[in-house]
């Protein structure tokens, strides 16, 4: 299956791709308008495979599997998939448009503003992510295959934060059934060692990623020692020593939030202060001021053996760690 690079103002069938939102190890994501003619049609988000991967049957199958699985998910904390279409030999994954920024971008905006995100924000966001993951696990276990599908790529660039304080999980492109080996790609330093080593994985690989994201947001143990200890527990290199599930991890987060309340109202207030929304007149697309400069794809790498996990440092604008 072929694909060709695109630039702003390019038509893909009935979709007008006008703003490139980012790219990762598998694909690129575009803000698009459905239907021809200025001002008509709904705004959607389009994901398509990178040109060199669109000729690889393995990645084509991953995109098809992502579309089939995520189309069955209807949860307030998961980005809704509207369908999969093929246009001139190119597969397009069509998703709902959520005016938002990524957690990655929010962290970068805070850094540029000279402030640190409150520890309770990380606890609240990741608690919402745990809700989404547990729903997806249950949904897949009761689906046609009867096997739990893990996400496999939880990272700050795959977690969306909306201005009203909502949280959504994005990109199930690397999801796989529990027990499956040989991942095609992974996102460092949030990928569990067993995933990078191409070993069999279960939902504790997602728990590892949750812990790694928490550590990246905290940056230093002194900011919230209890949460730091939780992040280290979850991101240990030995899966059997981690919390057994996202639900167990969430329980610890909720204990912290009971003492330091944080919810959609506080998150929305922080978003509006840091994001500085504005409108691009030429496209009508909602963008996010300083956050726009932090946009970028996930730092995906091909899977390779790893004996020890890389402990994450503070999040920077490119999805890498600041040393």
Catalytic site positions? 153
Sheet holding 167-169, edge to edge: 101-102, 159-161, 167-169
- Nearest-angstrom CA–CA distance, 17 and 186: 27
Q: Could you tell me the two tokens for 156?
A: 């700050």
- Reduce the DSSP state of residue 220 to 3 states and report it: coil
Closest CA to 215 of 100, 101, 109, 321: 321
Q: Which secondary-structure segment (H or E) carries 246?
A: helix 246-259
Q: Do residues 289 and 180 make contact, with C-beta atoms less than 8 angstroms apart?
A: no
Backbone angles phi, psi at 286, to 5 degrees: -80, 125
DSSP state of 241: G
């Amino acid at each position: 299956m072929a694909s060709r690079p695109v630039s702003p103002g390019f038509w893909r069938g009935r979709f007008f791709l006008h703003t490139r939102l980012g790219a990762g190890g598998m694909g690129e994501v575009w803000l698009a308008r459905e239907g021809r003619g200025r001002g008509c049609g709904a705004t959607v988000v389009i994901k398509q495979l990178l040109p060199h991967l669109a000729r690889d049957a393995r990645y084509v199958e991953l995109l098809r599997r992502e579309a089939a699985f995520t189309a069955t998910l209807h949860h307030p904390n998961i980005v809704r998939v509207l369908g999969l279409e093929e246009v001139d030999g190119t597969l397009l994954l069509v998703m709902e448009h959520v005016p938002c920024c990524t957690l990655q971008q929010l962290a970068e905006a805070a850094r540029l503003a000279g402030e640190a995100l409150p520890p309770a924000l990380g606890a609240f966001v990741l608690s919402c992510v745990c809700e989404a993951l547990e729903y997806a696990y249950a949904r897949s276990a009761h689906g046609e295959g009867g096997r739990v599908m893990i996400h496999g790529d939880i990272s700050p660039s795959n977690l969306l934060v909306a201005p009203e304080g909502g949280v959504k999980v994005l990109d199930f492109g690397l999801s796989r059934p529990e027990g499956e080996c040989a991942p095609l790609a992974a996102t460092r330093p949030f990928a569990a060692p067993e995933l990078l080593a191409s070993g069999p994985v279960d939902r504790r690989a997602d728990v590892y990623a949750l812990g790694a994201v928490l550590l990246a947001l905290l940056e230093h143990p002194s900011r919230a020692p209890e949460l730091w200890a939780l992040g280290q527990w979850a991101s240990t290199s030995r899966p059997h020593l981690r919390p057994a599930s996202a639900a167990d991890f969430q329980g610890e987060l909720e204990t912290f939030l009971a003492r330091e309340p944080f919810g959609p109202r506080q998150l929305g207030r922080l978003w509006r202060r840091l994001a500085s929304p504005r409108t691009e007149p030429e496209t009508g697309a909602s963008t996010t001021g300083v956050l726009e400069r932090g946009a970028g794809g996930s730092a995906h790498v091909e899977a390779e053996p790893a004996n020890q996990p890389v402990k994450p440092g503070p999040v920077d604008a490119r999805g890498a760690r600041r040393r």
